[in-house]
């Protein structure tokens, strides 16, 4: 993977997630690019949880909104 960026998006059945992807990946409608410091802060505060090991076919790290995980 070249330069990576982080995208706020939805995965699965509407779960809010931050996904690490290549810089050149196209953004879809409603997706937002986040800075690494923003991602780090959201993970450090526990708002997002690292679910990379559960995400099939992920290009990079995947963080899910903790609130959405409790609804699964």
pLDDT by residue (tens digit) across 39-68?
Answer: 999 999 999 999 999 988 888 999 999 999
Other CB atoms within 10 Å distance of the CB of residue 50:
13
pLDDT by residue (tens digit) across 4-36?
Answer: 899 999 998 889 999 998 877 778 898 999 999
Domain boundaries, the chain: 4-69
The pTM (predicted TM-score) of the whole model is 0.86
What letters, b where the CB count within 10 A reaches 16 and e where it falls short, cover 5-19? bbbbbebeeebbbbb
């Amino acid at each position: 993977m070249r330069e990576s960026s982080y995208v706020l998006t939805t995965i699965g059945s509407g779960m809010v997630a931050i996904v690490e992807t290549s810089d050149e990946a196209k953004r879809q409608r409603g997706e937002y690019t986040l800075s690494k410091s923003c991602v780090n802060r959201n993970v450090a505060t526990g708002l997002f949880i690292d679910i990379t090991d559960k995400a099939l076919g992920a290009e990079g790290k995947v963080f899910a909104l903790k609130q959405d995980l409790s609804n699964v």
